[in-house]
């Protein structure tokens, strides 16, 4: 099989968001594994026109440079260009591996599921988030081969080394992401839990402090770029939760958590923080298997769960989280998934 292993970079307008960070990290991990960019150099223009034209011209240039019988890795979704890229690659008898970041037919229902499966079935191999997403895809018509990523990597330098666990009266929980009430309304209800064992630090955009009581356990800490936040978060556990309810992750966000890998999970672990997660989330299995956190059915269970965490328990979770952090920083999980995908191509 050919040794030409390539991808086509683009402009990442949302450089500091989870979406931009995840795709940039995938590119960097691909380079570490011998893939080369055949498009324009990666850019991070935030204006609409430079973003549009850089991505368009980079895509066209990449497809012109694409050699026959190459292995092309594509990140999905790429909006307008995905089907076009795959079609040209197939005309050149290339093998195509797609890394799935988001399913347009699921959470936001921006595409009919049959149309999305038709696009994904043009691949030779797709890299899905986890076994739950793979099962969902196959149940909805995926016939391409599939491998599991298990968790998104998080490539960045850590400026601070591991520090001893300080004495504490309470655990500080961390939540990073969109803080608007419509998206994560549960944050504005945490005081109703009357928690004895934790407070909560928030990082992100859209926070409305006027919604909270004066003596709230919730503190807003600001917003930081994706490459910096791992050195900025202050706390002992990261929260992976979605929606407006304390009792469960309801609605479309909750349904999506059952199959996807939230990027904030990777950020917390890269920062060395163990996780508190909804027990029905797909990535809860990873958290439990690695002993890097606690899975709960309801946030009402968190206070009691934390009261039962001894210093030794926490040290063990922290140690395991730091071990996973090193793997995330090296791109180990995409490396393993790409190696498996290449192995499947070789077996054809």
Tell me, rounded to whole angstroms, the distance of Cα 81 from its chain centroid: 22
Rounded distance between C-alpha atoms, residue 102 and residue 75, angstroms: 10
pLDDT of residue 17: 58
What CATH architecture is 171-328? 3-Layer(aba) Sandwich (3.40)
Structural domain boundaries of the chain? Answer: 5-153+331-346, 171-328
Say if CB 175 and CB 202 are below 8 A apart: yes
Q: What is the pLDDT of residue 154?
A: 97
The pLDDT, as a whole number, for residue 1 is 45
Angstrom distance (rounded) from CA 294 to CA 284: 8
d(CA 304, CA 306): 5
- Per-residue pLDDT of the chain (348 residues), as tens digits, is 446 999 999 998 765 556 689 999 999 999 999 999 999 999 988 888 988 999 999 999 999 999 999 999 999 998 789 999 999 999 999 999 999 999 999 877 778 999 999 999 999 999 999 999 999 999 999 999 999 999 999 999 988 766 667 667 899 999 999 999 988 999 999 999 999 999 999 999 999 999 999 999 999 999 999 989 999 999 999 999 999 999 999 888 899 999 999 999 999 999 999 999 999 999 999 999 999 999 999 999 999 999 999 999 999 999 999 999 999 999 999 999 999 999 999 987
Q: What is the DSSP letter of 82?
A: H
Q: What string of DSSP letters covers 261-308?
A: --HHHHHHHHTT--EEEETTSTTHHHHHHTT-EEEESSGGGHHHHHHT
Convert 62-86 to b/e letters by CB count within 10 Å (16 or more is b).
bbeebeeebbbbbbbbbeebbeebb
Phi/psi class of residue 98: alpha, beta or left (left: φ > 0; alpha: ψ in -120 to 50)?
A: beta
Q: What backbone torsions phi and psi does residue 95 show, to the nearest 5 degrees? A: -90, 140
CATH number of 5-153+331-346: 3.40.50.2000
- Half-sphere exposure of 292 toward its Cβ, with a 13 Å CA cutoff? 27
pLDDT given at position 108:
72
Counting Cα atoms < 13 Å in the Cβ hemisphere of 135 gives 7
Domains 5-153+331-346 and 171-328 share a fold: yes
* Residue 324 DSSP one-character state: H
What are the C-alpha distances in Å from 328 to residues 26, 154, 269, 305?
11, 5, 8, 27
The predicted model scores a pTM of 0.94
> CA 214, CA 192: separation in Å to the nearest integer?
13
**In 3D, which of 106, 99, 204, 97 has the Cα closest to residue 149?**
99
- Residue 238 has φ and ψ, to the nearest 5°, of -100, 140
């Amino acid at each position: 099989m050919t040794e030409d292993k390539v991808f086509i970079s683009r402009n990442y307008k949302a450089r500091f968001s989870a979406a931009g960070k995840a795709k940039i990290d995938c590119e960097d991990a691909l380079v570490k594994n011998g893939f080369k960019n055949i498009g324009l150099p990666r850019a991070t223009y935030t204006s609409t026109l430079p973003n549009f034209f850089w991505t368009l011209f980079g895509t066209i240039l990449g497809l012109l440079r694409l050699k026959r019988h190459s292995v092309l890795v594509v990140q999905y979704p790429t909006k307008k260009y995905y089907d076009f890229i795959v079609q040209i690659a197939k005309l050149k008898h290339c093998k195509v591996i797609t890394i799935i970041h988001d399913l347009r037919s699921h959470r936001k229902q921006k595409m009919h599921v049959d149309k999305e499966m038709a696009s994904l079935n043009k691949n030779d191999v797709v890299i899905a988030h986890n076994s739950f997403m793979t099962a969902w895809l196959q149940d909805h018509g995926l016939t391409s081969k599939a491998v599991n990523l298990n968790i998104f990597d998080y490539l960045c330098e850590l400026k601070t080394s591991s520090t001893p666990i300080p004495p504490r009266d309470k655990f500080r929980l961390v939540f990073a992401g969109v803080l608007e009430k419509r998206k994560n309304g549960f944050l504005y209800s945490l005081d109703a839990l009357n928690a004895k064992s934790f407070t909560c630090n928030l990082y992100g955009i859209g926070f409305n402090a006027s919604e909270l009581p004066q003596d709230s356990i919730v503190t807003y800490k600001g917003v930081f770029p994706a490459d910096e936040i791992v050195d900025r978060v202050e706390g002992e556990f990261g929260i992976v939760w979605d929606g407006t309810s304390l009792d469960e992750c309801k609605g479309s966000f909750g349904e999506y958590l059952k199959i996807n890998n939230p990027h904030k999970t990777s950020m917390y672990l890269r920062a060395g923080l163990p996780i508190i997660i909804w027990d029905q989330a797909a990535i809860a299995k990873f958290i439990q298997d690695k002993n890097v956190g606690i899975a709960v059915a309801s946030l009402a269970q968190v206070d009691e769960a934390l009261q039962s965490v001894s210093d030794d328990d926490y040290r063990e979770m922290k140690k395991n989280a730091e071990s996973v952090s090193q793997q995330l920083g090296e791109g180990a999980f995409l490396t393993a998934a790409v190696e498996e995908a290449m192995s499947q191509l070789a077996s054809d």
